[in-house]
Amino acid sequence: MSKIPLPSEAQLEILDLLWQQQPATVQDLHERLTARRQVSYNTVLTQLQRMTKAGLVKRDTSQRTHAYRAAVKREQVERRLFHRLADTAFGGSTVNLALRALGSEKPTPEELDELQQWINEQKQ
């Protein structure tokens, strides 16, 4: 099942774009990523090729212009990334990590509600 590695930083950026809109071509992704920072088409392509090999994305090669989609679930990847961080520096407590991270934030009322709801669920 999950011998799929976690995405690297640069890969995560692209994967994030895919999660937002799938499927997508290299050009799509390059355009969208360029909106955030300067990066060449080939760089995006290479990362997509690496992610394909790694099993992080799938591609449809039936057309000359390949179409990509994520092969991993957003929730799972995010949870694993978070855990890796929590494990190495927060004594494994994700709640601690969450609290620490929240510490300096000013959440929107919606976000607060979501959090509140989560807590209520846990209490039952």
Q: Among residues 5, 42, 55, 84, which is the contact residue for its own copies, using CB under 8 A?
A: 84
CB of 63 to its own copies, least distance (A): 28
Task: Estimate to the nearest angstrom the gap between the alpha carbon of 12 and the chain centroid.
Answer: 5
Which residues contact residue 29 at a Cβ distance below 8 angstroms, ignoring those fewer than 6 apart?
A: 14, 17, 18, 44, 48, 68
Residue 21, SS3 per DSSP? coil
Q: Which of 42, 93, 96, 116 touches DNA (CB under 7 A)?
A: 42
- Beta carbon of residue 124, minimum distance to its own copies (angstroms, whole number): 11
User: Which entry of its own copies, DNA, none binds 45, CB below 5 to 8 A by partner kind?
Assistant: DNA
